[in-house]
A = this chain, B = another copy of it.
Amino acid sequence: MADQNPPPANAEQYIGIGELARQSGCKPETVRYYEGIGLLPSAPRNEGNQRRYTATAIRRLTFIRHARDFGFSVEAVRELLQMADHPTMPCEEVDTLAKRHLAEVEARLARLTAVRDELTRMIHQCEGGNIGHCHIIDVLSDHRLCHQAGPHGGADVLR
């Protein structure tokens, strides 16, 4: 149980890694990984060496997940966490980070849109038949058949 020898009031305040993961929307492995790379502080352990967490950890992990959902890199998240930990500092840096990220997102959007348009075009122009006459294969074989100018996205369009 969790009340074997607790501090007086608020017992039940510690949860295990599985519960933390559930409440913050990620997996236990990921939590351990985040601890390993220092995004989360090393959790205190119980007598059986298992990690115990409080609401603070839930909040921090939720913040991390959310920032990652927005596509911020782990390094960016690390900086955001540091900033969030210093509420009296000016938020210019947060702003800069967010704007830089937005710019990246927009660049990706542009490339991905170009790819979608070209894919759509080449699929529409294919009218069945055999591969020797397949427009899709033709376009892939010969860049000049593309409506786009340069290389579409640089192989990591989707990343």
Contact = CB atoms under 8 A, between A and B. Distances in A.
A67 B69 CA distance: 28
Nearest to A69: B152
A83 interface: yes
Contacts of A83: 131, 137
A134 B92 CA distance: 9
Indicate the size class of the contact surface on chain A. 35 or more
A63 interface: yes
A109 interface: yes
Contacts of A68: 155
A101 B80 CA distance: 34
Contacts of A89: 130-131
A35 interface: no
B126 A116 contact: no
Interface stretch (A2-10, A13-21, A45-53, A117-125): A117-125
Contact of A116 (B99, B102, B155): B102
Given A90-B128, A129-B90, A130-B91, A108 B140 contact: no
Given A71-B115, A102-B123, 14 more contacts: A62-B143, A63-B140, A69-B115, A69-B151, A69-B155, A70-B152, A71-B112, A71-B152, A71-B153, A84-B140, A89-B131, A95-B128, A101-B119, A105-B119
